[in-house]
Amino acid sequence: QEQLVESGGGLVQSGGSLRLSCVASGNIFEAYDMGWYRQAPGKQRELVARNFRNGSTNYADSVQGRFTISRDNAENTVYLQMNSLKPEDTAVYYCNALLYGINHWGKGTLVTVSS
């Protein structure tokens, strides 16, 4: 079972930036497709960004051009750089690791963007 631990959430003003980190346990991090999801109050969890094991990435339309996902396989870590934050980005952000159809989730980190 892959263990994922997120950090970096907090309170930021609209237009500000945050960087989230997710550290994974185990020794096959490079084999995983990694992703960030978020869940706002009263809404379903949604995909924010993915970083595939081949290095390709994709983003939700709502964050394209503002957020950047990256990974450091040597450190078993995936990052989410969030710039130009908006109040509608307020949510709990979850790290995800996918391998052989099995999803692993972190416990989440709260991001609050004030207007």
Buried b (16+ CB within 10 A) or exposed e, 37-60: bbeeeeeeeeebbbbebeeeeebe
Q: What is the pLDDT of residues 47-87, one digit of tens each?
A: 999 999 999 999 999 999 999 999 999 999 999 999 999 99
Rg (C-alpha) for the chain, rounded Å, is 13
Average pLDDT value for the chain: 96
Is residue 1's pLDDT more than 80?
no
pLDDT over threshold 90, residue 2: no
pLDDT tens digits, 17-50: 999 999 999 788 988 999 999 999 999 999 999 9
Nearest to 36 by CA among 71, 3, 72, 74: 71
